[in-house]
C-alpha cells in the first residue's frame, strides 16, 4: 500500500472495524427501547420539524413516523435482515452497517431520529433515493422505520470507496487510464441527476463514490448518500444555504451569492484533482483559512501528469460559474479522449499493471472487512 498525500487529510467516512462485542447504535438502542412493540406504544412521539427535537404527550398517534407507509415499512428491520456489527461508514447522525438477507448482502443506513437531520430532510432523502435508477448510482431497495430510527436498505459497494482506492495506490494517485474510466462513470451519474432528475447532490466527494469490481477486474463506481440532495427549484429560485463538506464547497456557495447545480461540477473538479495528484487542491487548515484558499489561492494544475486531463480539471475548478464546464460537456470530452487512447491503454503492459493493482486492492479490502464475518454475519 502506498503512502498517499491524501492521507495527511483523513477522511471522515473511513471504514471502521470492530470486534463482535461492539455495541453498535442498533444494539445500544435495545436497552432504551420500550418493552412493548411499536404498535403498542401508548405515547405520541412527535418530531419537532423546526428544531428536530422530540416532545412527548399522552395520546396515541401515527405522528411517531416521519416516512409515510406508501414508501416505508413501519416494522422492526431485524425481522427481515440480519444486521452485522461491521460499520462501513458514519455521518453526523447516521451509520452504515453490513447486512444480509437470503444469502444476499446489503448496506443499511441507519438515520437516528432527533439527530442532525431534520424530519423534512429525511423525508426528502427518502423520496429522492427511491426515485433514482442508474447503473452508477447505488440502488435503494426499501425503507424501514421504527421508534428510534429510519433504515435505508441499499446495494452494497463491495470494495470500499474512491478515497480508499486513491490512497491504496503505490504512487499516491491513479493512472490516467483508470482515472478516465472512473470519471466517465462519475460524470454519467451526475449528468443523470442534473438533466434527467433535476437534482443537485450538494455533497460530492471521494468518500461518496463506492466501488464494485467484478471477476474480470472491471471497475463500476456508484454515487451514494443523498442526505443533502435537493430538487432544483422549478420557479428558478436561487439556493443560498451553505451545505456539504467544506473542502468541496464552491466559491459561489461560500460567498453566499446563490448557486445551482454547478456546485456539483466544482466538487467533481476537487475529486478529479485528488485522483490525478494524490493531493487536494485546497489544503489550508481551519474553516476560515480553507474558505480563503477556495476563494483566492492559485491551483497548481502543473502537477497533473496529463495535458488533456489538466485542461479538463482547470475547466471544472473555474471560479467563474458562467464559464465552468458542465457535466455533459465534461462527459463528451472524456468519451472522446477514451476513444483515442483505447489502443494505447489496451496494450499488454498497461493491462498487466492495471490488473495487478486492482488484484492487490481487492485482496486488501477483503482482508480488511474480514470475508468470513461478511459471509456469516
CATH code assigned at 205: 1.10.510.10
Task: Give the domain range for residue 195.
Answer: 162-361
**pLDDT tens track for 232-278:** 988 878 999 999 999 999 999 999 999 999 999 999 999 999 999 99
Give yes or no: residues 321 and 244 share one domain: yes
Residue 368 lies in a domain: no
Which candidate, 187, 360, 358, 329, places its Cα nearest to that of 272? 187
Does residue 119 share a domain with residue 175?
no
For the chain, what percentages of helix, strand and coil (3-state, to nearest 5) are there?
A: 40, 20, 40
Whether residue 86 is predicted with pLDDT greater than 90 in this model: the reply is: no
The answer to whether residues 78 and 170 belong to one domain is: no
Kindly state whether residues 136 and 177 are assigned to the same domain.
no
* Residue 368 φ/ψ, nearest 5 degrees: -65, -40
Q: Check whether residue 261 and residue 349 sit in a common domain.
A: yes
Strand partners, 108: 97, 153
246 within some domain = yes
Kindly state whether residues 148 and 170 are assigned to the same domain: no
Whole-angstrom CA distances from 200 to 205, 275, 295 are: 13, 22, 22
- 308 in any annotated domain: yes
Distance (Å, rounded) from C-alpha 53 to C-alpha 116? 10
- Within a domain: residue 377? no
- Assess if residue 373 is contained within a domain: no
| Residue where one domain finishes, among candidates 104, 121, 156 | 156
Output the pLDDT for position 26.
40
Q: What is the CATH number of the domain that holds 52?
A: 3.30.200.20
pLDDT in tens, 121-168: 999 999 999 999 999 999 999 999 999 999 999 999 989 999 999 999
Give this prediction's pTM: 0.83
Q: What is the pLDDT of residue 373?
A: 54
Listed residues 134, 156, 178: the one ending a domain = 156
| Strand 219-223 versus strand 82-90 pairing type | unpaired
Lowest-confidence segment of 10-19, 199-208, 261-270, 274-283 by average pLDDT: 10-19
- At 56-82, the pLDDT tens digits run 333 334 468 999 999 999 999 999 999
Give residue 222's pLDDT: 98
Does residue 142 belong to any structural domain of this protein?
yes
Same domain, 199 and 88: no
Q: Are residues 131 and 11 in the same domain?
A: yes
Question: 223, 203 in Cβ contact below 8 A?
Answer: no
Alpha helices in 280-347 (DSSP H): 287-296, 307-316, 327-345
How many angstroms separate the CA atoms of 24 and 178, rounded? 36
Tell me: do 199 and 79 sit in the same domain. Answer: no
Contact status, residue 267 vs residue 205, Cβ threshold 8 Å: yes
Q: Within this chain, do residues 48 and 101 fall inside the same structural domain, yes or no?
A: yes
Residues 65 and 83 in one domain: yes
Is 249 part of any domain?
yes
Total domains, the chain: 2
- Indicate if 242 and 114 belong to the same structural domain: no
Contact 54, 114 (CB under 8 A): yes
Give the active site residues: 203
- Rounded to an integer, the average pLDDT of 7-15 is 42
Residue 239 lies in a domain: yes
Amino acid at each position: 500500500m502506498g503512502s498517499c498525500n491524501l492521507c495527511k487529510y483523513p477522511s471522515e467516512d473511513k471504514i471502521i472495524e470492530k470486534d463482535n462485542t461492539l455495541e453498535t447504535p442498533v444494539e445500544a438502542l435495545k436497552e432504551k427501547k420500550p418493552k412493548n412493540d411499536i404498535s403498542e406504544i401508548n405515547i405520541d412521539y412527535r418530531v419537532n420539524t423546526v428544531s428536530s427535537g422530540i416532545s412527548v404527550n399522552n395520546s396515541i398517534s401515527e405522528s411517531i413516523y416521519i416516512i409515510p407507509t406508501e414508501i416505508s415499512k413501519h416494522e422492526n428491520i431485524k425481522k427481515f435482515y440480519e444486521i452485522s456489527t461491521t460499520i462501513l461508514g458514519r455521518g453526523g447522525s447516521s451509520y452504515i452497517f453490513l447486512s444480509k438477507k437470503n444469502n444476499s448482502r446489503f448496506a443499511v443506513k441507519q438515520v437516528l431520529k432527533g439527530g442532525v437531520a431534520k424530519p423534512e430532510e429525511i423525508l426528502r432523502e427518502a423520496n429522492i433515493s427511491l426515485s433514482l435508477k442508474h447503473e452508477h448510482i447505488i440502488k435503494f431497495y426499501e425503507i424501514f422505520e421504527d421508534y428510534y430510527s429510519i433504515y435505508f436498505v441499499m446495494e452494497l459497494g463491495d470494495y470500499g470507496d474512491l478515497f480508499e482506492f486513491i490512497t491504496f495506490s503505490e504512487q499516491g494517485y491513479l493512472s490516467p487510464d483508470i482515472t478516465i474510466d472512473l470519471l466517465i462513470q462519475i460524470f454519467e451519474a451526475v449528468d443523470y441527476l442534473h438533466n434527467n432528475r433535476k437534482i443537485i447532490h450538494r455533497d460530492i466527494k471521494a468518500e461518496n463514490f463506492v466501488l464494485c469490481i467484478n471477476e474480470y477486474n472491471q471497475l463500476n463506481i456508484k454515487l451514494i448518500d443523498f442526505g443533502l440532495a435537493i430538487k432544483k427549484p422549478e420557479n428558478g429560485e436561487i439556493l443560498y444555504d451553505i451545505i456539504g463538506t467544506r473542502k468541496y464547497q464552491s466559491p459561489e456557495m461560500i460567498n453566499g451569492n446563490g448557486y445551482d447545480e454547478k456546485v456539483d461540477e466544482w466538487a467533481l473538479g476537487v475529486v478529479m484533482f485528488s485522483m490525478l495528484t494524490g493531493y487536494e487542491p485546497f489544503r489550508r487548515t481551519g474553516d476560515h483559512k480553507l474558505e480563503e484558499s477556495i476563494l483566492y489561492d492559485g491551483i497548481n494544475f502543473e502537477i497533473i501528469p496529463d495535458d488533456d486531463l489538466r485542461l479538463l480539471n482547470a475547466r471544472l475548478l473555474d471560479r467563474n460559474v458562467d464559464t465552468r464546464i458542465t457535466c455533459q460537456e465534461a462527459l463528451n470530452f472524456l468519451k472522446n479522449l477514451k476513444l483515442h487512447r483505447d489502443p494505447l491503454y489496451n496494450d499488454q503492459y498497461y493491462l498487466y499493471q492495471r490488473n495487478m493493482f486492482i488484484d492487490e486492492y481487492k485482496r486488501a479490502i477483503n482482508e480488511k472487512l474480514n470475508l468470513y464475518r461478511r459471509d456469516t454475519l
